[in-house]
Chains A and B, each alone.
Chain A
Amino acid sequence: MASVTIEPTAARDLAAKGGKPQRLAPNYWPFVMPALVVIGAVIVFPWVFTLWMSVNSWTLGQEQTFTGLDNYIRLAGDMRFWESMWHTLVYTALSVIAPLILGTLAALIFDGEFPLRGFLRGVFVMPMMATPVAIALVWTMMFHPQLGVLNYLLSLIGIGAQEWIYNQSTVIPALVLVETWQWTPLIMLIVLGGLAAVPREPYESAEIDGANAWQKFRYLTLPMIAPFLMIGVIIRSIDAVKSFDIIYAMTQGGPGTASETINIYLYNTAFSYYDIGYGSAMAVVFFFVIIALSFVLMMVRARTNWSDMEER
């Protein structure tokens, strides 16, 4: 009843002000405004400023000069930059694949029923929330070639001592081990969400048809959790590309530059050499790499969903 009386008044009011008559809608913009101001200041302003700095040559304490695309040209010919790109690619690929496989496995286990399930899941989730730097320091001690507990554990099963993060050829896998330890639970949680929505009936008929466990997983579970796996891949990729705390705290990109990812090289350029202009150009490229990556992954995801629907 009330709406009948309000709406014409509102329409008349608007008409009186010369606006088009429209449905009375609560004004939501005042709610969004403060956040827009803050986001403008701490997020959008830095983006624009970085873009501007990237076309200048400026080392802190020295003269700033506009140099156009010089920084980007320098970047294209910078071997250390391309190497860091390669490290990032390897690091990211491994840090997506390993948690994806282990996380799915964990989800299949935790989807079942067993004693203390809630508690064990709580323990499993802890690494994800733990402070990365603190974790990294303890891993560093565990990786110690002589005194570390990991080499001792390996010796128990007859495997020789490894140099872990202290060797150029094993440093990235060792870091990925930490990353996997930390982020496998996230994949588990995401896949667990997918498994919760899986219907029972197809499994019952599959059992009648005599399908084994692997066949049930491959032909029933996997297609149904595929969209969730894709979400896991997207989130994990974006996080792994940006990974900083663990790498910086454990190796600072070393030994040499063997574990220097784009993020670490960017940090060194901007805050060790104070080469602000060049660092900004790197930040801009890095930004677009991440945007491109997420765009590609979302396209893949959209396609997966679509083909999924077609099958049904």
Chain B
Amino acid sequence: MIPKMTHRMWNRLGLFFVALVMISPVILFFVWMISLSLKYEIDNGAYPPILIPENIAWSNYAKVFEENNFLLYFWNSILVTGAATILALVIGVPAGYGIARLKAEKAAMVIMIARMTPGLSFLIPLFLLFQWMNLLGTLWPQIIIHLVVTVPIVVWIMIGYFETTPKELEEAASIDGATSWQVFRLVALPIAKPGIVVAFILAVIFSWNNFVFGIVLASRETRTLPVAVYNMLSFEQVSWGPLAAAALIVTLPVLVLTMFAQKQIVAGLTAGAVKGG
């Protein structure tokens, strides 16, 4: 009995180290990212590279906000992602419900094809449309085009979720005289809360991370963070410290969300994945 137990303990410990090796590229990358962002140019240009510098350059972070209008871009990102996500939830949750109950395979198919289509192919016509409507220079084009990302994700996840919630309760309510809207609002929606949370989180992340729409549609004042950090590259000479600091600022909100909502993200991605095809 005892040798067997120690054997198992060694197994667990061994597996732990194997797992550590497996994820070491991830750890090394983020550690190096933080290191780059906290070093002065001299240390960043040193060979052999320095991991922990003698003088920590907190000023890199200050520089990002001072020299690059980053507060404005942060605010733009919040507005675009916020608006695109909320609109997608308002439109997409009922739609997911309707499609699941109607078993509307064709509507689900359109959503799936929309998810497979490259974002760029929406850009040409919508770019022209926004130009023609004289909307370029405002945040509206980006909010609207981000719906291309957020709506299909929300609808897709909600279809999957409502397919698993029981219909019997809804039927009982409608027999008792509730209207379709009441059934949805008072019976279906409360049960679907976990699904909505998953849809919300994934929509936020994919909208926040989106880059391709911004580089075409954003002007100087309407850049979102991914575009802003990319644009730092085109400045005279790139200094690594502030650039790494900016990159960290851009992706930090998403990483924090990932850490806290790991369960929802895993559920959403595997559900979306297994259903997605």
A181 to B36, alpha carbons, bound, how many Å? 19
A38 near B91 with CB under 8 A, answer yes
Can you show 28 pairs from A to B with CB atoms below 8 A apart? A2-B175, A27-B180, A29-B102, A30-B98, A31-B95, A36-B95, A39-B111, A46-B121, A49-B124, A53-B124, A109-B15, A109-B18, A114-B13, A116-B16, A124-B23, A124-B26, A125-B258, A129-B258, A131-B208, A133-B226, A137-B229, A137-B247, A141-B244, A149-B49, A192-B270, A235-B273, A267-B212, A290-B116
A interface residue count range (under 10 / 10 to 19 / 20 to 34 / 35 or more): 35 or more
A138 near B211 with CB under 8 A, answer no
Q: Does B118 contact A (CB under 8 A)?
A: yes
A interface majority secondary structure: helix
A3 to B101, alpha carbons, bound, how many Å? 19
Number of A-B contacts (CB under 8 A): 281
A134 to B228, alpha carbons, bound, how many Å? 10
* Residues of the B chain whose Cβ atoms lie less than 8 Å from the Cβ of A106: 22
- Please, what's the 1-or-0 string for A239-258, where 1 marks a CB less than 8 Å from any CB in chain B? 00110110011000000000
A42 and B258 in contact (CB under 8 A), knowing A134-B229, A142-B32?
Answer: no
* Residues of the B chain whose Cβ atoms lie less than 8 Å from the Cβ of A99: none
* Residues of the B chain whose Cβ atoms lie less than 8 Å from the Cβ of A283: 118, 120-121, 124
A126 and B97 in contact (CB under 8 A), knowing A28-B102, A32-B102, A249-B211?
Answer: no
Q: Does B52 contact A (CB under 8 A)?
A: no
Q: Does B169 contact A (CB under 8 A)?
A: no
Shortest Cβ gap from B225 to chain A (Å) = 8
Most B CB contacts (10 A, CB to CB) among A105, A137, A232, A283 go to A137
A181 to B184, alpha carbons, bound, how many Å? 42
A110 and B121 in contact (CB under 8 A), knowing A134-B250, A193-B270?
Answer: no
Q: Does B235 contact A (CB under 8 A)?
A: no
Q: Does B165 contact A (CB under 8 A)?
A: no
* Residues of the A chain whose Cβ atoms lie less than 8 Å from the Cβ of B255: 126, 129-130
B25 near A137 with CB under 8 A, answer no
A3 to B110, alpha carbons, bound, how many Å? 35
A249 near B212 with CB under 8 A, answer no
Minimal Cβ-Cβ distance residue in B for A280: B124
One of A28, A35, A47, A147 near B92 (C-beta < 8 A): A35
Shortest Cβ gap from A250 to chain B (Å) = 10
Shortest Cβ gap from A75 to chain B (Å) = 15
- Please, what's the 1-or-0 string for B14-48, where 1 marks a CB less than 8 Å from any CB in chain A? 01101110110111011011001000000011011
* Residues of the B chain whose Cβ atoms lie less than 8 Å from the Cβ of A146: 47
Q: Does B209 contact A (CB under 8 A)?
A: yes
A32 to B96, alpha carbons, bound, how many Å? 7
* Residues of the A chain whose Cβ atoms lie less than 8 Å from the Cβ of B110: 39, 43-44
A231 to B97, alpha carbons, bound, how many Å? 25
Minimal Cβ-Cβ distance residue in B for A144: B240
Q: Does A45 contact B (CB under 8 A)?
A: yes
Number of B residues near A (Cβ < 8 Å) is 104
* Residues of the B chain whose Cβ atoms lie less than 8 Å from the Cβ of A216: none
Q: Does B123 contact A (CB under 8 A)?
A: yes
Q: Does A234 contact B (CB under 8 A)?
A: yes
Give 19 new A-B contacts, CB below 8 A, not counting A35-B155, A134-B250, A235-B273: A30-B98, A34-B95, A35-B95, A42-B151, A112-B15, A115-B13, A130-B258, A131-B208, A131-B247, A132-B209, A133-B247, A138-B33, A142-B32, A181-B26, A186-B273, A189-B270, A267-B120, A270-B123, A287-B117
A4 to B266, alpha carbons, bound, how many Å? 45
Most A CB contacts (10 A, CB to CB) among B19, B36, B205, B262 go to B19
Q: Which of B28-86 contact A (CB under 8 A)?
A: 29-30, 32-33, 36, 44-45, 47-49
One of B47, B122, B216, B230 near A43 (C-beta < 8 A): B122
Shortest Cβ gap from A298 to chain B (Å) = 6
* Residues of the B chain whose Cβ atoms lie less than 8 Å from the Cβ of A120: 19-20, 23
Minimal Cβ-Cβ distance residue in B for A51: B125
* Residues of the A chain whose Cβ atoms lie less than 8 Å from the Cβ of B216: 271
* Residues of the A chain whose Cβ atoms lie less than 8 Å from the Cβ of B266: 125, 189
A148 to B216, alpha carbons, bound, how many Å? 30
B174 near A26 with CB under 8 A, answer yes
Q: Does B104 contact A (CB under 8 A)?
A: yes
- Please, what's the 1-or-0 string for A185-196, where 1 marks a CB less than 8 Å from any CB in chain B? 010011011000
A121 to B23, alpha carbons, bound, how many Å? 8
A36 to B18, alpha carbons, bound, how many Å? 49
* Residues of the A chain whose Cβ atoms lie less than 8 Å from the Cβ of B273: 186, 189-190, 231-232, 235
